[in-house]
């Protein structure tokens, strides 16, 4: 890369061209964050669905939950394949998000088991939303970065 001293020999029009090329490249790379945002939203939906189904129909583990998780994992691999970038602000936030979401799954399942009636209910849905919230926040944060 050229150093600031190298830039001294440039004319204003060449410098403006270099700046505009740099902006265009940065914009193109930044536009790929949509794949990461889509991945975060897929994770949010998966965590919500996983919690609700596991709490409401635990006997369906093999029939519904495991195939559902496999499909979600395949979608995430596809999104990562197409995205080919880790957007700014994502690296630091992702590990915290995964940890917080896993913790909220446990909290939601304990709440559902201890305080809610057995089977599917609107309270189970509301409690099941908890593990998805960190990934929705991650998507929002990456979209804003």
Partner 1 sequence: MAALRSADAVHFGLLRDTLEVSDSLLSKHLASLESAGYIRVTKGYVGRRPRTWYSLTSEGRAALDAYLAALREIVEDPGS
Task: Give me the least distance between CB of 65 and partner 1, in Å please.
Answer: 22
Is residue 52 within 8 A of residue 125, CB to CB? The reply is: yes
Task: Give me the least distance between CB of 2 and partner 1, in Å please.
Answer: 6
User: Where on the chain is the footprint of partner 1 (CB under 8 A)?
Assistant: 1-4, 6-8, 10-12, 15-16, 18-19, 21-23, 25-30, 32-33, 77, 80-81, 84-91
Burial of 75 (0-12, 13-18, 19+ CB in 10 A): middle
Task: Give me the least distance between CB of 97 and partner 1, in Å please.
Answer: 14
Task: Choose between 90 and 136: whose C-beta lies nearer to partner 1.
Answer: 90
Task: Choose between 20 and 63: whose C-beta lies nearer to partner 1.
Answer: 20
Region of 119 please: left (phi>0), alpha (psi -120 to 50) or beta: left
Q: From 7, 3, 37, 17, select the one nearest 138 (Cα to Cα).
A: 37
Task: Give me the least distance between CB of 86 and partner 1, in Å please.
Answer: 4
Task: Choose between 39 and 134: whose C-beta lies nearer to partner 1.
Answer: 39
Task: Choose between 61 and 92: whose C-beta lies nearer to partner 1.
Answer: 92
Instruction: State the first-to-last Cα distance of the chain, in angstroms, to the nearest integer.
Output: 26
Could you count the other beta carbons within 10 Å of the beta carbon of residue 116? 17
């Amino acid at each position: 890369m050229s150093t600031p001293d190298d830039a001294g020999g440039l004319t204003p029009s060449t410098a403006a061209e270099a700046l505009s090329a740099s902006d265009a490249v940065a914009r193109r790379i930044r536009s790929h964050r949509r794949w990461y945002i889509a991945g975060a939203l897929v994770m949010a939906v998966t965590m919500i669905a996983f919690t609700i189904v596991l709490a409401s129909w635990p006997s369906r583990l093999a029939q519904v939950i495991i195939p559902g998780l496999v499909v979600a994992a395949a979608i995430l691999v596809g999104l990562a394949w197409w995205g080919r970038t880790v957007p700014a602000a994502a690296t630091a936030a992702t590990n915290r998000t995964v940890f917080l979401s896993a913790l909220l799954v446990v909290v939601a399942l304990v709440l559902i088991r201890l305080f809610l009636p057995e089977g599917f209910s609107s309270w189970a849905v509301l409690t099941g939303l908890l593990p998805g919230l960190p990934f929705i926040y991650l998507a929002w944060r990456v979209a804003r970065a």
